[in-house]
Amino acid sequence: MNPISVIESNLETFTKAEKRIAEFILKDPIRIVQYSADEIAEAASSSKSAFIRLCQKIGYQGYAEFRFSLSKYLIAHKEKADEHQSISQSITSAYSESIKQVSQNLTDEDIEQLCQTMFNAEKTKIFGNNRTGLSAQQLRMRMAKIGMDSEYVSDPILMNDIVNSLTEKDLVIVFSIRGMSYYEDIAKQVQQNDTSSILITMTPNSPINKYFDIVITLPLISRATDRFLDDQAIFLVFIEILLAELAEFNHSDRGKK
């Protein structure tokens, strides 16, 4: 079953709420395999129950079965489109598309808010764990290149100790691909201390988003293709964009406290 064709052929039979979700799916189907049912409903300005009804109307038991079918279709469709590409062409193409999304999703307002928040901080702590620990370390190293001091922390126990001593003059930056729940206590303490906070993630509407002042959502390339691609590269590209903006910001009047 081609879920895209089925939706298109049944579009006029859907209610207004169902049609909003259908149009969201047709516009960006790859997001459907990345989002939860609640996230899809919210992004489409509809409801989870309308989404479930849509799935059932086109022959699926519910969201899980529809998502599985759509994921298989997208992988098969991608493989067919890329069958004449070499492995190197396929991989570089996937990264190229995700990198384009980074620049498309970042507005001038996002960048200015990030830069101003980072320059205003007296102390900056950068948190990351496992793979995102490398991203946190990279940001600290790149910030040092333009004379901005910060500390990188990858131990969750140490993170908890550190946030207890932070104030409203400080800043916490967290790298977390999926907005992991073990950051929740840390984020709550940061919020309680009125410490400025930035979350850099790849999961829209993760449960911890609400605790952060600024949330930057980047493309999740590991879920956008059937190849085993690493999300770390996307974080590194974002860091280079941010550092270039910080360097320019530093030489303008906007960077003065």
Spatial CB neighbours of 107, under 8 Å, sequence gap ≥ 6 = none
According to the model, what pLDDT value does residue 254 have? Answer: 53
Give pLDDT tens digits for 146-162: 999 999 999 989 999 99
Residue 225 has pLDDT above 80, yes or no: no
Query: 147 — phi, psi (to 5°)?
Result: 80, 20
Q: Tally the residues of the chain.
A: 257
Long-range CB contacts (< 8 A, 24+ apart) of 106-112?
106/216, 106/241, 110/214, 110/216, 111/242, 111/245, 112/249, 112/254
Domain coordinates in residue numbering, the chain = 3-81, 99-255
For range 178-203, the mean pLDDT: 91
Kindly give the interhelix angle for 63-81 and 48-57, rounded to the nearest 10 degrees. Answer: 70
Residue 256 has pLDDT above 60, yes or no: no
Give the least confident one: 158-172, 186-200, 205-219. Answer: 205-219
Give pLDDT tens digits for 35-55: 778 888 888 899 999 999 999
Q: Which carries the bigger pLDDT value, residue 67 or residue 21?
A: 21
According to the model, what pLDDT value does residue 106 have? Answer: 81
Residue 223 has pLDDT above 70, yes or no: no
For range 108-122, the mean pLDDT: 93
Q: Which carries the bigger pLDDT value, residue 212 or residue 204?
A: 212
How confident is the prediction for the chain on average, in pLDDT?
87
According to the model, what pLDDT value does residue 99 have? Answer: 86
Spatial CB neighbours of 50, under 8 Å, sequence gap ≥ 6 = 15, 17, 18, 20, 21, 41
Distances in whole angstroms, Cα of residue 131 to Cα of each of 138, 152, 154, 227, 240 = 11, 13, 10, 18, 18
Long-range CB contacts (< 8 A, 24+ apart) of 216-219?
216/106, 216/110, 216/114, 217/105, 218/101, 218/102, 218/105, 219/98, 219/101, 219/102, 219/105
Q: Please provide the CATH number assigned to the domain covering 3-81.
A: 1.10.10.10
According to the model, what pLDDT value does residue 68 have? Answer: 80
- In order, the DSSP letters of 139-180 are HHHHHHHTT---EEE--HHHHHHHHTT--TT-EEEEEESS--
Q: Please provide the CATH number assigned to the domain covering 99-255.
A: 3.40.50.10490
Residue 227 has pLDDT above 60, yes or no: yes
Spatial CB neighbours of 37, under 8 Å, sequence gap ≥ 6 = 48, 51, 52, 63
